[in-house]
Amino acid sequence: MIYKNSFSILSNRFSLVYKTLFYVLVIALIIVALGAAMLLPTLNSLVTELSELHLFRTLGTYIKSILNGDVESTDFEDIQNLFSQIGQAFTANSSKLILSGVFLILLYFIGMFLISMCYYSVSDVVDSYMNSGSNFPFMANYVHNFKTSAKFALLYTVINIPLQIVFVLIVIGFAILFSMVNYLLAIFVVALLCFCIYAINKSMFSLWIPAMAVKNMSCVEALKYNFKALKHNFTSTFGAYFVYGILMAMLLASSLLITFGVGTLILMAGSIVFVRIMNMVSYYHINGLKYYKADNVVIDNSRKFSPSVYTADEADVTEHYHIPATPVDDNAKEGKEQTGEKAEEKETKEEDSASERE
């Protein structure tokens, strides 16, 4: 149900994917420019020293001699000397390498912060569609909610980066442990662990933004609500994101081979939007709220003993959801009133005739 309704909303608001893709590309250009400004001056001397060693040419010659069966002891000594010189170059520039590592961490923090800045706006646009069937512009929403988006993105990044470090260490530990037993087993376990970690990470914060967008909670209040609500819904949420992670990995791998990376960019942008939609649909279902899944098609989670899918013209809801009811024709209204009057006259006549018989 979550996948079906989320995909229906995505198809009706697919323009969000292109807008998100444009946003991600702009952020990528900013990160590349910052990276070039930070890392190139720092690593310039190291790159110069490595280029003087003719690393790729020497390695290419050695591999070619191995393939031709002409390997001599002097070739092996040359390779040893090459790696020794590379080690000396890295040792001589160790302080610059440490500084470059700090720059990379800073770039990762900035990149995650800027990318997550669009999460609230995408979710709020989706909420506007689900709530009232309206198509609110993405950029106008982004500008209007810039302060809220920045607060969320900062707190989300501060919480998420340490979690990701822990997750990476866990994956590395399992990879080393199972590689001692069997390499194929290690690959299977690591892949399964990565999908589990992805599902855990997405599930942990799935109701955070929806609580902010729907109930206008503050960033901290919504986070508290997120953890409280997930106590009773974590298993189903985890399962949904686990299956989604596997499907998305297969789609990304296929698009990378077939479209040479072009389709992969669109899929990544689509994944950002789709995950936000899944979060909103989960929130609406957990709280039993009505929402549009398509134009003029409403899902009512409060109907337990009647069809939950109906058109907006059939909806009988409060003004909070802004779902239009069926317009009543004045002529039809007058006709109903006349029919009611005739029915009353008929009942009166029947009572009079019954009294006369008595």
List pLDDT tens digits, range 140-174: 999 999 999 999 999 999 999 999 999 999 999 99
Looking at the DSSP bridge assignments, the partners of residue 292 are 298
Report the candidate in 262, 261, 308 with the shortest Cα–Cα distance to residue 4: 308
Residues of the chain with pLDDT under 50: 304-307, 316-334, 336, 358
CB within 8 Å of 124: residues ≥ 6 apart: 136, 141, 145, 213
pTM value is 0.74
By the 8 A CB rule, do 241 and 202 touch? Answer: yes
Q: What is the rounded CA–CA span in Å between residue 300 and residue 293?
A: 10
CA distance 341 to 295: 39
What are the residues facing 297 on neighbouring strands? 294, 311
Q: Is 34 exposed, middle or buried (0-12, 13-18, 19+ CB in 10 A)?
A: middle
Q: What is the DSSP string of 73-115?
A: HHHHHHHHHHHHHHHHHHHHTHHHHHHHHHHHHHHHHHHHHHH
Output the pLDDT for position 200: 94
**Across-strand partners of 294?**
297
Nearest to 192 by CA among 249, 256, 255, 251: 249
pLDDT tens column, 293-313: 887 788 876 654 344 555 555
